[in-house]
């Protein structure tokens, strides 16, 4: 009976604890010197043509966790996000997959150079996850 009680206490303690650390990942975009036309004048949120809200992970909703995910990505000549990388996630990486999935469905007006659509690189976007 004593072993069962100890096991239940450890199980309950494990259920109550959450990993609340910020997870940082390598950022490939620190290597690039982005062109002036796509650096500070472009807002990845404001310049989107189509946005898809991320799904709230069930585990996070049950625990009433709030958090965020910061991603870097490129935009193709067709206006699709590409090379999506998570560079920071809090808490832990609980929201990372849903954030990437949602961003992959966004659409943008492609950058232009000399009248033609061009690929633009290293845009950054933060998606916040909040339970009200």
The contacts of residue 55 (CB under 8 Å, 6+ apart) are 98, 101, 102
Pairing label, strands 67-75, 111-113? unpaired
User: Looking at the predicted structure, is the pLDDT value of residue 114 above 80?
Assistant: yes
End-to-end CA distance of the chain: 42
**pLDDT at res. 32:** 54
**Mean pLDDT rounded to a whole number for the chain:** 81
- Reply yes or no on whether the pLDDT at 26 is more than 90: no
How far, in Å, CA of 57 to CA of 63, rounded? 10
Q: What is the mean pLDDT of residues 20-48?
A: 67
The pTM assigned to this predicted structure is 0.76
Q: Which tens digits make up the pLDDT trace of 64-81?
A: 999 999 999 999 999 999
The arithmetic mean of pLDDT across residues 92-111, rounded, is 95
Q: What is residue 41's predicted lDDT score, i.e. its pLDDT?
A: 54
Helix (H) or strand (E) segment spanning residue 71: strand 67-75
């Amino acid at each position: 009976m004593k072993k069962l009680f100890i096991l239940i206490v450890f199980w309950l303690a494990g259920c109550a604890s959450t990993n609340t650390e910020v997870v940082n990942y390598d950022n490939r975009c620190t290597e690039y010197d982005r062109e002036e036309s796509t650096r500070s004048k472009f807002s990845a949120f404001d310049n989107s043509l189509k946005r898809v809200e991320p799904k709230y992970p069930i585990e996070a909703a049950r625990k009433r966790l709030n958090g965020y995910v910061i991603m870097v990505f490129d935009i193709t000549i067709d206006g699709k996000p590409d090379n999506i990388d998570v560079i920071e996630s809090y808490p832990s990486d609980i929201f990372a997959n849903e954030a990437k999935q949602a961003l992959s469905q966004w659409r943008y007006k492609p950058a232009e150079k000399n009248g033609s659509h061009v690929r633009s690189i290293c845009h950054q976007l933060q998606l916040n996850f909040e339970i009200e």
